[in-house]
């Protein structure tokens, strides 16, 4: 179990949490499950992160995104997209949980 999955699942919600290692798996998971939020590492798509997120948003416009990254310049790039938020990995896990909780409250849904 990944550290992120463990953190989110211990947060006390009854979320359905799925993990994907490859883009194909992510698309399959989005298609098979009612996905409300994708928490995605900035480097998941290598240098094509913004293009792939744009592609997913065209097919599934209601999906929210929290992008995890290490560089402030990536936050600036991500701000140009319709991404709910960008989380710097150097920030505290508590801040990430607060962001997830804010998404839950705004969308009145669970996280996938």
Taking CA atoms, 69 is separated from 12, 15, 21, 49, 108, in Å, by 25, 23, 17, 11, 26
pTM over 0.75: yes
Write down all domains in the chain, each with its CATH number in brackets: 3-107 (3.40.50.2300)
Mean pLDDT of 72-92: 83
pLDDT digits (tens, 9 = 90+) for 34-70: 888 899 888 888 778 888 888 888 998 888 889 999 8
Nearest in space to 78 (alpha carbons), one of 34, 33, 45: 45
């Amino acid at each position: 179990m990944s550290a992120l999955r463990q953190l989110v699942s211990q947060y006390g919600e009854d979320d359905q949490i799925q993990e994907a290692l490859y883009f194909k798996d992510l698309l399959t998971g989005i298609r098979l499950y009612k996905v409300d939020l994708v928490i995605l590492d900035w480097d998941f798509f290598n240098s094509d992160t913004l293009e792939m997120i744009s592609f997913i948003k065209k097919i599934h416009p209601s999906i929210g995104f929290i992008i995890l990254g290490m560089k402030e310049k990536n936050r600036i790039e991500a701000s140009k997209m319709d991404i709910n938020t960008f989380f710097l990995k150097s920030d505290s896990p508590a801040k990430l949980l607060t962001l997830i909780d804010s998404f839950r409250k705004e969308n009145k849904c669970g996280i996938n």
